[in-house]
Amino acid sequence: MKTLLFAGITAALTMSTPALAQELNQAVRGDMRDLMALYRDLHQHPELSMQETRSAGLLAAEARRLGFDVTTGVGGTGVVAVLRNGPGPTVLLRADMDALPVEEQTGLPFASRARGTSLAGVESGIMHACGHDTHMAAWVGVARRLAAMRSQWSGTLVMIGQPGEEVGLGAKAMLEDGLFTRFPKPSHVIAFHDSAMLPAGVIGYTVGPTLANVDSVDILVRGVGGHGASPHTTRDPIVLASRIVTSLQTLVSRELDPLDSAVVTVGSFHGGTKHNIISDEARLQLTVRSYTPEIRRQLLDGIARIARGEAIAAGVPEDRMPIITTEPNYTPATVNTETLTRSTAARFREHFGADRVREVRPIMAGEDFSQYHLADPSIESLIFWVGGVPQDRWQAANGDATRLPSLHSPFWAPDAEPTIATATEAMVVAALGVFGRH
């Protein structure tokens, strides 16, 4: 294999020849037995957000074995593995580690039976319903390949196992614990996410806004309670809250430019305790999604205006106006920088073939991977998708993802082997492409 290594470093680093692409593919195939064993282990032993001690230990041990300088406990349970390999850019590769409070229903022979208690104090089953087990397995595969290929690149590689993505806390916690000051600061940050909207082994990417701003908003709707038989003596908060829910729908449909994307969803509505009692209060919980700071501000201001306006229309006293609380730790939109995204997509097409690489639309899900670029906008950033839907299920659904289990579903079971293999190759190609450009 060493005869394939070029003295001309640029040609080698871009993996531009069929021989080099085949070499990488064969090396990843050789790792798959170990990576699949690791995947099944991680799947059977999921850990909730900010509690990923076992998962972090597995990643750290593998990175140490490969010669990385490893630090654990960053931002709680985060792992930072650094491999210095001469002059050049610093590339950060991320895998998120946390699972979800979901009772698994996949029927897999290695299905999770784990249970735990979330940060919110809720006890439940635990499952890798978002596929972060595939992310960690691929992380190990990438670390193995890049460590073995040190003669083909120059620069500094930083690989992190990030906690708490599902609760939007992990990236910020690692940054606050010195990710960019205690360790080499990256010029480029790259990650992937498995996808329930693409067939297994297909890569998807988006240029620009890719995932949304995510705000959580609570509205305490206050009224005047009383007997259900005498509603005229009350100011019914359930009726008022219902009006607020209905009026909130006009924020997107009537106040935003139709070409701007946004979501206002009321996910929870609680009020009252008994059939014949009109309560004092009702509570609404909202998720609010957008792509730009301007639209985000317009939505949040509109929610406050509508809630107050409906309360005034219902005759609620001034001292009983709704109380609106927006969680301060919102997840900012994830934006793929154009230069890195387009150059990497071109390398993907060259490596995998055009039929396995697709430009896809942005989605309204959230991702705290955005925090790394937000911490320093000069950092180039890319997160891409790797399809996980088994080919037979994709074909049976005629490519209609709405007929298939989504991420966060108790039935989500990616076709792990092609997902992990494709992700491992893609992350290596992406990293080498950056090192090669410099």
What are the distances in angstroms from CA 146 to CA 27, 84, 191, 341?
11, 11, 15, 20
Q: Are 270 and 283 in contact (CB under 8 A)?
A: yes
Q: CB neighbours (10 Å) of residue 314?
A: 17
Q: Distance (Å, rounded) from C-alpha 406 to C-alpha 193?
A: 13
170 HSE (CA, 13 A, CB side)? 28
Is the CB of residue 357 less than 8 Å from the CB of residue 205?
A: yes
| pLDDT at residue 436, as a whole number | 83
pLDDT score, position 437: 55
Q: Map tokens 């994830």 to a residue.
A: 334
Global pTM? 0.92
pLDDT tens track, the chain, 438 positions: 333 333 333 444 444 567 788 999 999 999 999 999 999 999 999 999 999 999 999 999 999 999 999 999 999 999 999 999 999 999 999 999 999 999 999 999 999 999 999 988 999 999 999 999 999 999 999 999 999 999 999 999 999 999 999 999 999 999 999 999 999 999 999 999 999 999 999 999 999 999 999 999 999 999 999 999 999 999 999 999 999 999 999 999 999 999 999 999 999 999 999 999 999 999 999 999 999 999 999 999 999 999 999 999 999 999 999 999 999 889 999 999 999 999 999 999 999 999 999 999 999 999 999 999 999 999 999 999 999 999 999 999 999 999 999 999 999 999 999 999 999 999 999 999 999 854
DSSP string, 370-437: HHHHHH-TTSEEEEEEEEEE-HHHHHHTTT-GGGSPPTT-TT----HHHHHHHHHHHHHHHHHHHHHH
Note the pLDDT of residue 370: 97
Is 327 annotated in the active site?
no
| Torsion angles phi and psi, residue 222, rounded to 5 | -110, 135
Q: How many Å apart are CA 221 and CA 268, to the nearest integer?
A: 13
Q: Is 367 one of the catalytic residues?
A: no
Kindly state the DSSP code that residue 330 receives in the 8-state scheme.
P
Amino acid at site 6: F
- Distance of alpha carbon 99 from alpha carbon 166, whole angstroms: 8
Determine which one of 52, 62, 98, 425 is catalytic. 98
pLDDT score for 5? 34
Per-residue pLDDT reduced to its tens digit, 218-244? 999 999 999 999 999 999 999 999 999
Q: How far apart are CA 170 and CA 153, in angstroms?
A: 30
Question: CA 77 to CA 95: how far, in whole Å?
Answer: 13
**Structural tokens at position 56:** 């972090």
C-alpha dist (Å) from residue 79 to 31, 48, 263, 272: 22, 16, 34, 46
Query: What is the full DSSP assignment across 263-315?
Result: EEEEEEEEE-SSTTEE-SEEEEEEEEEESSHHHHHHHHHHHHHHHHHHHHHTT
- Between the alpha carbon of residue 385 and those of residues 15, 85, 200, the distances in Å are 20, 28, 10
Per-residue pLDDT at 120 = 85
Q: What secondary structure does DSSP assign to 41-99, as a single string?
A: HHHHS---TT--HHHHHHHHHHHHHTT-EEEEEETTTEEEEEEEESSS-EEEEEEE---
Q: Give me the pLDDT at residue 354, please.
A: 96
pLDDT of 19 reads: 79
pLDDT tens by residue, 389-433:
999 999 999 999 999 999 999 999 999 999 999 999 999 999 999
At residue 161, what are phi and psi to the nearest 5 degrees?
Answer: -100, 115
Spot the catalytic one: 31, 47, 52, 165: 165
* pLDDT the model gives residue 16: 53
Q: What is the tens place of the pLDDT at every residue in 50-64?
A: 999 999 999 999 999
pLDDT, position 3: 36
The encoded tokens of residue 99 equal: 């699972």
